[in-house]
Amino acid sequence: MRGGPYPEPVVVDVVGLPAVGWSGLGEAERALVTAAEVLLGAPRHLGLVPEVDGQERHAWPSPLRPQLPAFLEAYAGRRVVALASGDPLVAGIGSTLVDLLGPDAVRVHPAVSSVALAGARMGWDAATFEVVRIASEGAQEVWPLLAPGRRLVALSRDARTPAAVAQVLVDAGFGLSVVTVLADLGTPAETRQEVLAATGVEGDVPALNVVCVACATDQPEADGSPVPGLPDDAYEHDGQLSKRVVRAAALAHLRPASGDLLWDLGAGAGSVGIEWCRAVAGARAIAVERDGERAARITRNARHLGVPGLQVISGVNADALTWLPAPDAVFVGGGADTGLLHTVLAMLRPGGRLVVHAVTVETEALLLDLQATLGGELTRLSVETLGPLGRFRGWVPARPVVQWSLVTAAAGRGDEPSQEEETAR
């Protein structure tokens, strides 16, 4: 059980409700709901099923995930049923519960999901579109997925989401995209509105809606590809920015993966953390930046480039890192010193990836010593770009960057010294 030990097993039946609510449930699912001692769900879901004498009903805590272990522990040993929309494993509470409790403690009873209904209404094969859940008011989550010819199904936050999606499309150069708003799917009140993104979504939209996007653009440079190495001018910055080629090299060693957490230390404009999150759905990042103005700039860059969930922390000394969740990967773009790197090595998970960049001879000397002791790979990156030279052209060199990359020992090798122990010898 990933969420930690419980006095007694917590077993949860998760019942997916169709859009029509109680009348659309089968007899077996109705029996589960009525027999539950404890019924959990969002207030809207709890209001869709009839009252049962003696049954406890509780809405999910907020924020959900940090409070969920203690919340569920209170109902250990009782018959617990959770309500969800459609298929609980399609961007729903079912996935969260399985991750927390393990698959043996969660029994999922799905209804037809809004994603499946949207695909049916659009005539889109499930393999031809990507699903994105919108959690932010500005719908920036759509941005990294934009590419000519791509299809998206966006699960809306509320009635304002369709207009926000259309605005993101326009801002990204995809104003020619066709936006189809499907509301109250699977109910007699179902509606459909189809517009060009450039025209915008007009009129009142029901709160329960899904936004389908057929991406199109007449701007060849418009592309939301998640491949690392966005143009430098995609970022607001004050010069403290890992340049495009160097950034792509760092991310190649950091290897973003779904669910993995990156620390981006001395984050500057936040480019490495942002592109880590853009590269793979579910990748998480914390950007730590000493300067308050730069930290605010990172937040703006993250929102603009489609990863509003990037966490930004102002402060970069080694003592400030120990309370953060342990990372799967760490990038140190500036300010590396012995104390900081020892803290990082102590916190990295087994098999974690570390990339450190140095532009001064002092930091370069530190990395040479660490590589000699701990191993890893040292690379000197020298990039030149073509530029004007009088009446002609010449190569303009950028400041060289020394990159140290290291993968920590995998779990199960406890008989060998850790990196920080080896360094201390």
pLDDT per residue over 231-265, tens digit each? Answer: 888 899 988 888 899 999 999 999 999 889 999 99
Q: Can you list the pairs that 43-52 forms with residues at least 24 positions away whose Cβ atoms lie under 8 Å? A: 45/17, 45/83, 45/84, 45/85, 46/83, 48/17, 48/21, 48/22, 48/83, 49/17, 49/21, 49/22, 49/83, 50/22
pLDDT at residue number 291: 87
pLDDT at residue number 195: 96
CATH number assigned to the domain with residue range 115-214, chosen from the 4 options 3.40.50.2000, 3.30.950.10, 1.10.645.10, 3.90.180.10: 3.30.950.10
Nearest to 205 by CA among 176, 152, 151, 163: 163
Nearest to 355 by CA among 419, 222, 420, 265: 265
44: its two tokens: 């809207």
Confidence of residue 19 (pLDDT cuts 50, 70, 90): confident
Compute the distance between CA of residue 272 and CA of residue 259 in angstroms, rounded to an integer: 17
Confidence of residue 364 (pLDDT cuts 50, 70, 90): very high
| Residue that has been written with the tokens 């025209």 in this structure | 199
- Decide if 12-112 and 232-424 have a common fold: no
Confidence of residue 269 (pLDDT cuts 50, 70, 90): very high
Compute the distance between CA of residue 270 and CA of residue 296 in angstroms, rounded to an integer: 10
- 73, pLDDT greater than 80: yes
The pTM assigned to this predicted structure is 0.69
pLDDT at residue number 145: 87
pLDDT at residue number 143: 86
Q: Cα angle vertex 22, ends 87, 19, to 5°?
A: 45
Maximum distance among all Cα pairs of the chain, rounded to whole angstroms = 88
Confidence of residue 6 (pLDDT cuts 50, 70, 90): very low
Q: Which CATH class is domain 12-112?
A: alpha beta
pLDDT at residue number 224: 67
The predicted model gives 25-33 an average pLDDT of 94
More confident residue, 20 or 212: 212
Residue 347 DSSP class = H
Q: Can you list the pairs that 194-200 forms with residues at least 24 positions away whose Cβ atoms lie under 8 Å? A: 195/166, 197/165, 197/166, 197/169, 197/170, 198/170, 199/166, 200/163, 200/166, 200/167
Residue partners of 383: CB distance under 8 A and separation at least 6: 243, 245, 246, 397, 398
Residue 390 DSSP class = T
Percent of the chain predicted with pLDDT > 90:
64
What residues does each domain of the chain span? 12-112, 115-214, 232-424
- 119, pLDDT greater than 90: yes
Using only C-alpha atoms, what is the Rg of the chain?
25
The upper half-sphere exposure of residue 416, i.e. CA atoms within 13 Å in the direction of its Cβ, equals 10
pLDDT at residue number 413: 47
- 222, pLDDT greater than 80: no
Cis status of the peptide bond prior to 388, with omega within 30 of 0: no
Compute the distance between CA of residue 146 and CA of residue 221 in angstroms, rounded to an integer: 12
pLDDT at residue number 246: 94
- 87, pLDDT greater than 50: yes
CB contact at 8 A, 153 and 86: no
Nearest to 67 by CA among 11, 153, 15, 3: 3
- Mean residue pLDDT of the chain comes to 88
Convert the pLDDT of each residue in 277-330 to its tens digit: 999 888 999 999 988 899 999 999 998 888 888 999 986 555 668 888 999 999
Let me know if domain 232-424 sits in CATH 3.40.50.150. yes
The predicted model gives 153-166 an average pLDDT of 95
Convert the pLDDT of each residue in 366-380 to its tens digit: 999 999 999 999 999
pLDDT at residue number 251: 96
- 422, pLDDT greater than 90: no
CB contact at 8 A, 407 and 418: no
**Around Cβ 171, how many Cβ atoms within 10 Å?**
14
**Around Cβ 355, how many Cβ atoms within 10 Å?**
24
pLDDT at residue number 352: 95
